[in-house]
């Protein structure tokens, strides 16, 4: 008979009988987040048999402690090392030190602050041009006409990959639904992406990337032996997925929150330099990547007094952690004066924090500052609509009205 409690004070994880991937939960995750946080430092999600954390401190521990929690099993709910669930891993995100450290070090050198600064002038110029067009139009969709239009214009030019809108959005939706269970969203996204799979594979090859671009620098690093063979194309695919949808989503949420909170818009109008903290606060409050996974090592693990089975998935619900009242005062309030940079978990933590976060911040800062500077008012022009995705909280439609006083 199995012994379940061997150490004094160590308890089993309580069960939580809520499916975080149910449509009603994806559309309104906050009751689930609260239930998860209040259940304890760790809970077991009954419908899927995985562990989950929703408090800020435990979330940071799971993301940062690769000795207890490995990324090698994949960042989705499936264990990609096991039969029937195997897929080629993301060599950056689904890899542990020291192998991860070497790849990350080379990427950091390539994606240096100097390189990012070279893009700033172009990003800002495109942002101002788009903001002026929006003022002339008066009404528009903050997702399709701002976030998607802007990111899919400047990001491909910088990275050096052709990214047609329909192609990249279908591929991204597929990848972020793949991180969840094989539910209706998963199957619908897989079918939608089928026509673009060959394009995705071909677009990330060396002969498809633009000369002098970030993508070409990755292949050149592989030529010099700084990457193992095949890692450059793997990293290019990472930038296609992680560098578009997440930034589009973050910008969309920032616009939505500013339109819903006129007093916060007024603070930004008075001091446009606050767009940096406004974007970080939007990422905290409406975290684009709602959940990511680790797997306990092949031995019993303890976390905050809770015993965890070996070789078992544990979901880190970033959206819950970023609204943890143990960490934030009045956590459900949008406050552009609250500086959460480096504290919220929207860009990850530790060795696996987002390698492209400087690009995302630069894009968001440029377009939000342009809109705040050019326009006097920003209001909702109807009810926004969500796009349910297993891993993300993403707007599908954001009707806005903008104008001069």
Using only C-alpha atoms, the chain has a radius of gyration, in whole angstroms, of 21
User: Is position 3 within any domain?
Assistant: no
Q: 188: part of which helix (H) or strand (E)? A: helix 184-193
Phi, psi (deg, nearest 5) at residue 315 = -85, 130
**How many C-alpha atoms does 337 have within 13 Å on its Cβ side?**
8
Q: Mapping DSSP to helix (H, G, I), strand (E, B) and coil, where does residue 96 land?
A: coil
CATH number of the CATH domain containing 21? 1.10.630.10
**Residue 360 burial (C-beta neighbours within 10 Å; 0-12, 13-18, 19+):** buried
For 85-96, b/e burial (b = at least 16 CB within 10 A) is eeeebbbbbbbb
Say if residues 274 and 268 touch (Cβ distance below 8 Å): yes
Residues facing 51 on adjacent strands = 44, 314
252 in Cβ contact with 395 (< 8 Å): yes
Q: Which two tokens stand for residue 142?
A: 């903050």
Domain-embedded: residue 220: yes
* DSSP run (H or E) holding 293: strand 291-296
Q: Enter the DSSP assignment of 325.
A: T
Q: How far is CA 85 from each of CA 74, 79, 167, 198, rounded to the nearest angstrom?
A: 10, 6, 25, 21
CB atoms within 10 A of CB 9: 7
**Structural domain contains residue 5:** no
pLDDT of residue 1: 34
Alpha-carbon distance 45 to 236, whole Å? 34
Residue 113 Cα to chain centre, angstroms:
21
What is the pLDDT, as a whole number, of residue 103?
87
Please report, for residues 11, 38, 343, the alpha-carbon distance to residue 304 in angstroms, rounded to integers and kept in the order given: 10, 14, 20
- How many residues would you count in the chain? 405
Residue 237 lies in a domain: yes
Residues of the domain holding 300: 11-403
Q: What is the dihedral of CA 163, 95, 360, 114, to 10 degrees?
A: -100
| pLDDT tens by residue, the chain, 405 residues | 333 434 557 999 999 999 999 999 999 999 999 999 999 999 999 999 999 999 999 999 999 999 999 999 999 999 999 988 878 888 788 888 888 888 888 888 888 888 888 899 999 999 999 999 999 999 999 999 999 999 999 999 888 988 899 999 999 999 999 999 999 999 999 999 999 999 988 888 888 899 888 899 999 999 999 988 888 988 888 877 677 889 999 999 999 999 999 999 999 999 999 999 999 999 999 999 999 999 999 999 999 999 999 999 999 999 999 999 999 999 999 999 999 999 999 998 877 788 788 889 999 999 999 999 999 999 999 999 999 999 999 999 999 999 875
- Could you count the other beta carbons within 10 Å of the beta carbon of residue 114? 7
Q: What contacts 280, CB < 8 A, 6 or more positions away?
A: 339, 340, 341, 344, 346
**Is 2 within the bounds of a domain?**
no
CA atoms within 13 A on the CB side of 200: 21
**Number of domains the chain contains:** 1
What is the pLDDT at residue 405? 57
- pLDDT value of residue 187: 97
**CA pair distance 56, 317, nearest whole angstrom:** 9
Q: Running DSSP on this structure, what letter comes out for residue 90?
A: P
List the end-to-end C-alpha distance of the chain, in Å, as a whole number: 75
Residue 364 in domain:
yes
Residue 194 placed within a domain: yes
Q: Determine the Cα–Cα distance for residues 116 and 230; give it in Å rounded to an integer.
A: 25
Whether 147 contacts 394, CB under 8 Å: no
Which helix (H) or strand (E) element contains residue 379?
A: strand 377-380
Residue where the block lists tokens 């006097």: 376
Q: List the beta strands (DSSP E) in 130-184.
A: 139-141
Residue 103: both structure tokens together: 């790849």
Residue 4 within a domain: no
Q: What is the pLDDT of residue 182?
A: 95
**Which backbone phi and psi does 380 adopt, to 5 degrees?**
-70, 145
Cβ–Cβ < 8 Å for 257, 286? yes
Please tell me the distance from the alpha carbon of residue 316 to that of residue 303, in angstroms, as a whole number. 13
């Amino acid at each position: 008979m199995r012994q379940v409690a061997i150490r004094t004070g160590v308890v089993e994880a309580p069960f939580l009988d809520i499916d975080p991937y149910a449509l009603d939960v994806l559309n309104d995750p906050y009751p689930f987040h609260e239930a998860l946080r209040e259940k304890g430092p760790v809970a077991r999600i009954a419908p899927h048999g995985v562990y989950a954390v929703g408090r800020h401190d435990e979330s940071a521990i799971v993301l940062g402690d690769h000795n207890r929690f490995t990324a090698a099993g994949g960042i989705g709910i499936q264990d990609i090392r096991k039969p029937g669930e195997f897929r080629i891993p993301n060599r950056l995100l689904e890899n542990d030190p020291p192998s991860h450290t070497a790849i990350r070090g080379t990427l950091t050198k390539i994606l240096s602050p100097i390189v990012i600064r070279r893009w700033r002038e172009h990003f800002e110029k495109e942002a101002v041009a788009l903001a002026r067009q929006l003022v002339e139009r008066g009404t528009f969709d903050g997702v399709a006409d701002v976030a998607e239009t802007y990111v899919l214009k400047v990001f491909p030019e910088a990275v050096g990959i052709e990214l047609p809108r329909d192609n990249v959005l279908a591929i991204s939706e597929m990848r972020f639904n793949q991180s969840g269970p094989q539910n209706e969203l998963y199957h619908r996204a897989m079918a939608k992406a089928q026509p673009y799979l060959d394009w995705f594979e071909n677009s990330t090859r060396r002969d498809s990337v633009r000369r002098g671009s970030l993508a070409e620098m990755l292949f050149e690093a592989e030529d010099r032996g700084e990457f193992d063979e095949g890692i450059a194309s793997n990293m290019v695919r990472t930038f296609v997925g992680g560098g578009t949808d997440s930034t589009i989503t973050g910008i969309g949420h920032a616009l939505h929150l500013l339109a819903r909170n006129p007093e916060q818009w007024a603070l930004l109008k008075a001091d446009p330099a606050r767009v940096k903290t406004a974007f970080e606060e939007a990422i905290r409050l409406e975290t684009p990547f709602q959940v990511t996974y680790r797997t306990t090592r092949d031995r019993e693990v303890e976390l905050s007094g809770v015993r965890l089975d070996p070789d078992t998935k544990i979901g880190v619900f970033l959206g819950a952690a970023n609204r943890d009242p143990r960490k934030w005062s009045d956590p459900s309030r949008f406050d552009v004066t609250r500086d959460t940079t480096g504290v919220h978990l929207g860009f990850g933590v530790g060795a696996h924090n987002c390698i492209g976060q400087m690009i995302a911040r630069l894009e968001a800062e440029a377009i939000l500052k342009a809109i705040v500077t050019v326009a006097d008012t920003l209001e909702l022009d109807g009810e926004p609509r969500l796009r349910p995705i297993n891993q993300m909280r993403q707007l599908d439609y954001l009707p806005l009205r903008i104008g001069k006083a």
